[in-house]
A and B are shown apart, each in its own frame.
Chain A
């Protein structure tokens, strides 16, 4: 089955920039999406179509792709950005959709 690979954990100091990567064979052909999930809450979409930001998502969140890698960048991380981050995309067949394993981001 199709897989998206993320680092399990990362840490960043407040105000610094961090980049969370997601590797998948179909990312050159399929859009990447990114979700933020804070403890005890439902996920929130922070990036769609590789690099677009939904209304209400701070500008410090940005997305990019290069080949088989998608990247979520948080520029000037804040303590409230501490969360689990998941990439999300599709297999080339269109189904199923797949989440990456998630990256636990610590801001301290």
Chain B
């Protein structure tokens, strides 16, 4: 069974850095793109971008380019979403997700449980 397990909730202050994780189980991690999706409180879903763990190829939404960094460690089947300097507006639930077929960008049919990131002074 395919599973994506995300790291736990985080509470940070503005200006701090953060890395959250998404670990894949039950499939060949390097063969499938992993996407990241933001959901701000009470708001809709936003596609942030995707990473291919096999070679760390990435594609970012223009809205998130330069604001976050995707990475992956294929030795431990884990993808990461990273901020170097958090803002209060980064407060949201962040989901990782995977498409049903290897080598394609989407859509996503397997989702992590979400990681709540709270940024507050």
Contact = CB atoms under 8 A, between A and B. Distances in A.
Contacts of B95: 42-43
B113 interface: yes
B46 to A, nearest CB: 6
Contacts of A86: 44-45
Interface residues of B, number: 23
Interface in A35-64: 35, 37, 42-45, 48, 54
B44 A101 contact: yes
A95 B61 CA distance: 8
B9 to A, nearest CB: 14
B45 A35 contact: yes
Interface in A62-108: 84, 86, 88, 90, 94-102
A100 B47 CA distance: 10
A62 B51 CA distance: 31
A101 B106 CA distance: 18
A93 B95 CA distance: 24
A96 B46 contact: no
Contacts of B54: none
B1 to A, nearest CB: 13
A101 B44 CA distance: 6
A99 B45 contact: yes
